[in-house]
Amino acid sequence: MRTSVATSLQSSSLYFSSSSSSSSSSSPKQPSSSSSFSLPNSQRPNTPLTPPPKQPKSVLHKHPLYPQTQSSNLSLQIKEKILCLEVMGVDSGRALSLNPDLHSATLASVHSVVSFLRSRGLRHRDLPKIFGMCPRVLTADVSADLAPVFDFLAADLRVPDRDLRRVINKCPRLLACSARDQLRPALLYLRRLGFRDPEALAYSDAVLLVSSVERTLIPKLRFIEGMGVSAEEAAAMVVRCPSLLTFSIENNFRPKWEYLAGEMGRRVEELKEFPQFFAFSLEKRIKPRHMELARRGLGVQMPLPSMLKTTDEEFRDLITQLAT
């Protein structure tokens, strides 16, 4: 049976507490260091929980951050955190490596994050993806960091409560961004460019909201303008095809623009009408179809949308029509 996240956290704490008790009968009693990491007694289940057999040993003794020679010296706090993360389906080694603050975080603070996300509609099965992509969320402050993100989604993007889970699952990085320093400035910039549909930004293009205005969005607009279009025309292109702002300049824009202007002999005016050109693979779609047109002496006679959006069969039929 799938247990809730809260029960999983309780289970990890109870497991190590019971392990300490059983070992104390055969050795002198040592002071316990788990009190600050154990859940309050009021939150413990009334019936004992059976821990996953053998899982703690395999997790702890083979953990990448803690070699086997040191595993016996692991503090109870670290053991509980590793088991807690693994029970939730999170790669504990990766999480601890990418988020150093997790080393000193208490289980109570992790539990508060999980409880808050669950209260906003997230489900247990959503957590591995969210925490896997953004381990920083595990040590976020609920009031200062997470609550403002949900307020932003509700107030600025008008996302209803029932759709919060959908938006977060679409772009978990929202939870790792500051609403004040990142999300709202990005939204203001996108609105100035011409993005007027909050639903589209929330449900389809949320990745633009987590992108840096200065380091990501502005340089891409400048490159598009450098191809020979005005600032207004560049803005119209990205509003028409928002994915342009997610493409790499060096790996996408530059090689495709150089191929279009050089090998294909086409003009930038065609890109103003069809900015989706940059969404097609250069090697798998653009080059093969251009070379087929060139081989038949058809050159630039076929418009870019017809050349790239059609199926292979439709493309061959168009070539036949042009050749007759």
| pLDDT tens digits, 170-180 | 999 999 999 99
Give the pair of three-digit tokens for residue 142: 């609920």
Assess whether pLDDT exceeds 60 at residue 53. no
Per-residue pLDDT at 9 = 44
What span, in angstroms and rounded, lies between the C-alpha atoms of 18 and 28? 16
Residues 150 and 101 in one domain: no
pTM metric for this prediction: 0.74
Residues 148 and 173 in one domain: yes
Work out the mean pLDDT of the chain and round it to a whole number. Answer: 83
Does residue 43 belong to any structural domain of this protein? no
Give the pair of three-digit tokens for residue 45: 């289940």
Residues 176 and 241 in one domain: no
Residues 277 and 228 in one domain: yes
Lowest mean pLDDT, pick from 13-17, 105-109, 313-317: 13-17
Q: Find all residues with CB under 8 Å of 148, minimum gap 6, and list them.
A: 178, 179, 180
- Mean pLDDT of the 53-65 span: 45
Does residue 131 belong to any structural domain of this protein? yes
Assess whether pLDDT exceeds 50 at residue 5. no
Q: Is the dihedral of CA 173, 176, 180, 182 positive or negative?
A: negative
pLDDT digits (tens, 9 = 90+) for 152-167: 999 999 999 999 999 9
Assess whether pLDDT exceeds 50 at residue 247. yes
Task: Using the structure block, give the residue that is written with the tokens 């449900």.
Answer: 203
Does residue 45 belong to any structural domain of this protein? no
Task: Using the structure block, give the residue that is written with the tokens 């989604």.
Answer: 153
pLDDT confidence bin for 74, thresholds 50/70/90 = low
Residues 226 and 271 in one domain: yes
Does residue 106 belong to any structural domain of this protein? yes
Quick one: how many helices (H) and strands (E) in the chain?
Answer: 18, 0
Does residue 268 belong to any structural domain of this protein? yes
Does residue 1 belong to any structural domain of this protein? no
Does residue 29 belong to any structural domain of this protein? no
Residues 199 and 287 in one domain: no
What span, in angstroms and rounded, lies between the C-alpha atoms of 185 and 177? 11
Assess whether pLDDT exceeds 60 at residue 37. no
Question: Of all residues in the chain, what percent carry a pLDDT higher than 70?
Answer: 77
Question: Of all residues in the chain, what percent carry a pLDDT higher than 90?
Answer: 70
Residues 82 and 132 in one domain: yes
Does residue 127 belong to any structural domain of this protein? yes
Residues 150 and 112 in one domain: no
Lowest mean pLDDT, pick from 23-32, 133-142, 278-287, 299-308: 23-32
| Number of independent structural domains in the chain | 3
Residues 162 and 181 in one domain: yes
Per-residue pLDDT at 124 = 93
Residues 151 and 78 in one domain: no
Residues 183 and 281 in one domain: no
Query: In terms of residue numbers, what domain contains 157?
Result: 143-188+195-203
Last residue of a domain, one of 119, 140, 161: 140
